[in-house]
Structure 1
């Protein structure tokens, strides 16, 4: 069954789903572009590209190969994947450089809003025989001054043991391993799930061809995705990784930070592992 599911989870299907999800996000957004800002950013981006062409003496054959590849990225629906893997980590770094609270990192292409609301002590939606080591993930959400944030929202989503995300791969329940946990009156939460697996980003599309041409690997370390928020505070988007896990040191998306690496220990009840991680939110 695992081989069948993995084979069907193509880059094209995943890319199309990620693209549509991003378009939905944009339709509900309110941000407007400032003309002078666009002029500055695009002009500098083009100048950087021109500089590379001159310094590296780019040939017409190389230019045509790039042009063909860029067209194919769009046809494959992989622009969200490309940007989130190779560009977003720097945007996140700049955007959050003045935060005092918890560290953030990239959102990635597989976030879906409005996941099922769950109580402070919850089990994520999952299949009856969900594979993976059971994990109790618990902690507290506070403000930078230490005040517990009652009713804080902890959105969590992650891949399954095959490295696949619900809503972006076939044969998975709609909200598998996705949920929105509402913390208790002291900002505490306890979430039961399973440890995700490391996974390759899709390699049968344009991004995969770039990876092969450059001689890179395509792996992301196992991780939990989270968005944590509370009224009057800045939302934090982050990922949490597992110490000693494969590719923590060489994540293709360059999204790992030392502060985001977990140290799970055997669970007190003897079932799987548990880990405590607290979130500190900056005031808005």
Structure 2
């Protein structure tokens, strides 16, 4: 089967269901909202107290199936409300048969129509929105598959979640020079931050109305919603709030195992970055760190963190 024939077969699944009549495992609830806000460091008062709403970016959290996968055990009726539709499984099987056996999530987009509130019971339907022509990437050649999930409460649309994956045939690895690190995605919202990095300054946004500091950079204040802002420069001191050790998968320009930290700066915001010059098994929650700007090649400088003297 050539690429054109395969793509024609894949496109026949556009508009077919990927999940039908799905339901959230739990109603929108205060404990989950609290856990989310604590993990994100989001202190917006709109998410606490009487009349609290759920953070909009939690939209997907209410419809995920959980670590156990299907929530219905051996009950076919329960599985039908939580599992994938046959058309989606057929699409993935077709791609597997074409050699596209690997998968990676690439991006998602969300639209919010009204806030979710504690007690709301969510329902959702998912369709296969599009399948791209064959694309060649550094990972390998394959197809981008986009699904669209419409989330409803009592029959009213409250949000839309688009999720895109790449199903691909892994490229054959050959010996080659060490690759450059991936470049950060720079857009109109965060360009000022990366301009600061080039000048070896770590800039944090500050709301012009309520003085709330925020990171990563956003187009509006997550505390009061104001659009105007200025910046303050971080002093560089921080602590490891949390961390993970990356073992797999291997990625060009990185040599696992290595530690990636969630660093809480002295100013109160948190940033994800490498913890460098420390053995991965010596990184600890609460470890004092300090900012360093490290140049990796002629074009790339990144903010990283190293243990403060005497911390290890």
TM-score by length of 2: 0.22
More strand by share: 2
* Higher share in helix: 1
Higher relative contact order (CA 8 A, sep 6+): 1
Choose 1 or 2 for highest CA Rg.
2
